[in-house]
Structure 1
């Protein structure tokens, strides 16, 4: 089981969070630079493996709202991975995970509806499938409703991972 730490570099405590995650046994710690709009987290969620664990120091370090937290949990579940929060001690595994999801769904229902991302996020597997089918990057972007830069970044990440 690989433990992957995630931290947003948005305030002075971020560097302390990095040290805390390493001390908690995270073999890998990834930091989100300010203004990156969740690209690092999205990359982690695209490539995390079954049985692996995403670790954050606090729940608010994972996403900015309840809907974002639920989306991250859904993506982790789809990959067979789990979430572990250090303070307070929370996990998405087992019965505690069901309770955590119920609370987050209640919180997300209370949030105002109009707060959404500017653009849809294309799943990496969709981009790769279209590329394998012989579709060019510009056409992939058009079909999925994302920017060409998003397609290029995800293809570049695959190229780097294979190298």
Structure 2
């Protein structure tokens, strides 16, 4: 875009963009307090929402889309923005890709901005925690799979009750009662009834 004399319009000046969130179980007063703190910090635009940290956060998505290169996204506390260290790292990387910094007004009693040297150091610490958290999660997942396999509950286990339906019908046709079929196949009576199409025996 250019002004009438043909000189290109300068890009918009960077601004502070605030984001506040409370969970659906928290009072709106908490959201009002965050808005006051964000406006007092100089935020020219503030996005707020009442949403669970583990659910969808459409307003955060709009805030992330709104910020432009040179802007700073401001939050009062880390837990208002991210649900985990990994999630925080993902948000910061997305902001970095847009040339946007993150400012936390209260991180251990201090204000931290990823545009500063101290902020960069903390960012690297976050990255380390994210990697550690990811490795721990993978380790717990592997242990869970191993335990499930040992207990016969893993997805790769032997045929389920549905897969045994044909055997249930065959044994019932041979004269076994529903109870006997269930015991023989190691499945519940309800599963046998479903396999037999509701036959009562």
The residue aligned with 2:123 is 101
1:54 aligns with 2:48: no
TM-score (norm 2): 0.52
How many residues get paired?
115
Match of 1:92 among 114, 122, 135: 114
The residue aligned with 1:6 is 19
Q: CA RMSD in A?
A: 1.9
Mapped to 2, the partners of 1:66 and 1:49 lie a distance apart of 24
Q: How does 1:111-130 map to 2 (within 5 A)?
A: 111=133, 112-113=136-137
The residue aligned with 2:49 is 32
The residue aligned with 1:150 is none
Where 2:137 maps in the other structure, the secondary structure is coil
Mapped to 2, the partners of 1:60 and 1:67 lie a distance apart of 12
**Unaligned ranges ≥5, structure 1:** 116-163
After TM superposition, where is structure 1 displaced by more than 4 Å over at least 4 residues in a row? none
Where 1:37 maps in the other structure, the secondary structure is coil
Q: Deviations over 1:69-94 (max 9, x none)?
A: 11111111111111111112101113
Higher gyration radius (CA): 2
Contact 2:82–2:88 (CA under 8 A) maintained in structure 1: yes
Say which structure, 1 or 2, has more relative contact order (CA 8 Å, 6+ apart).
Answer: 1
Contact 1:9–1:15 (CA under 8 A) maintained in structure 2: no
